[in-house]
Amino acid sequence: MGVEVDVQQTFRSGGHDFNLCMQFSCYEDITVLFGQSGAGKSLLLKIIAGLQEVHAGKIVINERVLFDSSKNIDVPSRYRNVGYLFQDYALFPHMNVGENIGFSKRSILSKVLKGKDEERVHELLDIFQIKDFSKKYPSEISGGQRQRVGLARALLQRPDILLLDEPFSALDPLLRIQMREELKKIQSIFKIPILLITHDPQDVAELGERLVLIKQGLVSGSVDLANAPYRDSYGKPVRPEIRKILLSAAGVSSA
């Protein structure tokens, strides 16, 4: 069980070529993608979700081939079964919280879900403690609540992987701490690989069990953060060590 990604693509914009060439694998834990803006992290998530075209390579999740250029396999987004949390959550503004969460199971004609699907929505409303405002619209709830709705919506269809594009960037610092804890809880409940993009070294230290460093469209390094020297004997992150790799990856010599 695990995720294997190996993709190449050249993007042309404004007369410049941008080469994206990324290879890495991850398992049922939290993998943090760290790199500067414009390094191609969001593109990579879009490619995995099938929202962005790619020339060559292979994407396999839990032994299921989603993309293989050598065999002409390119599974459309809707069959990839990935959970995707967009940077600003992309909650549907014309649907209330409950309808947003149940979206993947509804039909065109009716927004009413049947037995099992409806139970599942309630289960997720409970897990994320958002039952009280299931009838409210996205514009009527706070940033942290919106994020929970986005996560619940993505998890309803029991995805094989969860892709999070800078999930905490729109939240204030205290809320970030809380949402990091919630994400760990989710990980322990759903036990699926989580790929998370961040600019925040704090996220890397607190959440990352695996770190993939991305620079100008390439994977410049991959670090196992679950063990020494990045974790102490109590399993707590050793911040100075983690800081060191992040700084050297960014080309800054650590003091």
Partner 1 sequence: MTSLPITVEAVAIPLFLSLKVAGIATLIAALTGISIAWLAAKREFFGKEVLDAILTLPVVLPPTVLGYYLLVLLGRRGPIGSWLETYFGINLIFTWQGAVIAASIVAFPLVYKSARTAFEGVSKQYEDASRVLGKNEVQVFFLVTFPLAIRGILAGSMLAFARALGEFGATLMVAGSLPGKTQTLSIAVYEAVQAGHDQIANFLVIITSIVCIVVLLTSNYFLKPKYREA
175 sits in which H/E element: helix 173-190
- Residues 156 and 105 sit within 8 Å (Cβ to Cβ): yes
Site stretch for partner 1 (CB under 8 A), options 131-139, 201-209, 223-231, 245-253:
131-139
User: Using CA atoms, how far apart are residues 55 and 13, in angstroms rounded to an integer?
Assistant: 16
Site string for partner 1, 32-71 (x = CB under 8 A): --------------x--xxx--------------------
Nearest to 98 by CA among 124, 116, 72: 124
CB count within 10 Å of CB 112 equals 11
Angle between helices 173-190 and 143-155 (to 10 degrees): 20
**72 binds partner 1, rule: CB under 8 A:** no
Residue with smaller CB distance to partner 1, 16 or 78: 78
- Residues in 77-96 that interact with partner 1 by CB under 8 A: 77-84, 86, 88-94
Residue with smaller CB distance to partner 1, 11 or 137: 137
Q: Name the DSSP letter for residue 27.
A: -
Residue with smaller CB distance to partner 1, 104 or 220: 104
**12 binds partner 1, rule: CB under 8 A:** no
Residue 203 has phi, psi (to 5 degrees) of -60, -40
Residues binding partner 1 (CB under 8 A): 46, 49-51, 76-84, 86, 88-94, 103-104, 106, 108, 137-139, 146, 153-154, 157
